[in-house]
Amino acid sequence: DAGVIQSPRHEVTEMGQEVTLRCKPISGHDYLFWYRQTMMRGLELLIYFNNNVPIDDSGMPEDRFSAKMPNASFSTLKIQPSEPRDSAVYFCASSRQGNYGYTFGSGTRLTVV
Amino acid sequence: ELKVEQNPLFLSMQEGKNYTIYCNYSTTSDRLYWYRQDPGKSLESLFVLLSNGAVKQEGRLMASLDTKARLSTLHITAAVHDLSATYFCAVDMGAYNAGNMLTFGGGTRLMVKP
């Protein structure tokens, strides 16, 4: 099992550009979570999916953020337009109903200049 | 709203010493997790505590859960440099047998000095 796979590992972009982060959950996991980690705010849940359906997006900071999960093996988090305050590490995690805890991906470090 | 608070936020300790990290949470739950994060790395699961009085141990780390006090502790025994990392507790507020809904504490950054 390759674990939760995120890409890219690092992304540097200019303010105003569109950024897309990608995640492949562990096969068979039916929950997928997007978290953002910053020094100031710690780990924040942005959105989570169950069986590819968004269940709770109340943590998405504003309309510039959107997330999709077109199938069980792929999810994207998009920021358009990006701003410097979006700079953070974005983690994807997955879990399976009946299991305990998450498996985290390696994260994407986003820098918006 | 569930709040999860860890203390201390930063801990510098000498090798060989013992110390305890505390995790307090504001709403009833009997599922609590501890994760470790090395600098620039992802979060790695350490312990899963699923009931009041649960105790888990792995090497020099021991975690416990008191659901009545809404408190979990992570005890470090005879610290070594390799334990230097940031430790997070997370409380699960999701429904049983459903996907986990974890709320994380702010983390405790541990530095173990020779």
- In the predicted model, is pLDDT for residue B53 greater than 90? no
Q: Which residues does residue B87 pair with via DSSP β-bridges, in sequence order?
A: B36, B108
Other Cβ atoms within 10 Å of A10 Cβ, number: 10
Per-residue pLDDT tens over the stretch B87-107? 999 998 766 555 677 899 999
Cβ contacts (< 8 Å) between A97 and chain B: which residues? 97-99
Are B95 and B8 within 8 A, CB to CB?
no
- In the predicted model, is pLDDT for residue A86 greater than 70? yes
Q: Which band of pLDDT confidence, cut at 50, 70 and 90, is reported for residue B82?
A: very high
How many angstroms separate the CA atoms of B20 and B5, rounded?
14
Quote the pLDDT of residue A89. 97
Closest among B112, B103, B111, B108 to B70, alpha carbons compared: B103
> Residue B50: which of A30, A100, A107 has the nearest Cβ?
A100
What is the token pair recorded at A102? Answer: 């998450």
How many angstroms separate the CA atoms of B15 and B13, rounded?
7
Report the relative pairing of strands A42-50 and B19-25 from DSSP bridges. Answer: unpaired
Quote the pLDDT of residue B99. 62
**CB pair distance less than 8 Å for B48 and A98:** no
Shortest Cα–Cα distance, A95 to chain B (Å): 7
* Helix/strand/coil percentages in chain A, nearest 5: 5, 55, 40
How many angstroms separate the CA atoms of A110 and A47, rounded?
18
- Under DSSP, the state recorded for B81 is G
Report percent pLDDT > 90 for chain B: 77
| Interface residue of B100, B101, B103, B104 to substitute, partner A, most A CBs within 10 Å | B100
